[in-house]
Structure 1
Amino acid sequence: MIDLEEQLIDVQTRVAYQEDTLAQLNEVITRQDAEIIQLKQQLRLLVQRIDELSQSAAQPGGELVDERPPHY
């Protein structure tokens, strides 16, 4: 009977640790998801800005971004 009781306590202890680990992992995943969303938004803004710069450089009188200065 004591052996069965010890096994039950051991199983309950393991389940408690697993539940704690799952909660910690969930917090990490939630933070990473928010960070990924933020990074995707920043990337979209950067792509949009690059497109705008490319379009303005292609227009007459537009400044070429990659153009080397005349003294080179």
Structure 2
Amino acid sequence: MNCYDCPDIIATPAVAVCSRCGAAVCREHAHESHIPAQDVVGTGRATHLTPLRHITCLACHKTEVS
């Protein structure tokens, strides 16, 4: 699978899939962040100590931070 955001003349292999839109992205077009891991427990939430890795494409990352 090739990166969705790379030009068609440059077939760059994808290394991840955007967790928001599902587009395949290469290392250059992927944005990695860390979000708190939470579970629904009874009537509340439990937050884990180790955060989750959150991979998005650049377009979704721009939308998240705006």
Query: TM-score with structure 2 length normalisation?
Result: 0.19
Task: Answer 1 or 2: which has greater helix percent.
Answer: 1
Larger Cα Rg: Structure 1 or Structure 2?
1
Structure with the bigger RCO (C-alpha within 8 Å, sep 6+) is 2
Task: Answer 1 or 2: which has greater strand percent.
Answer: 2
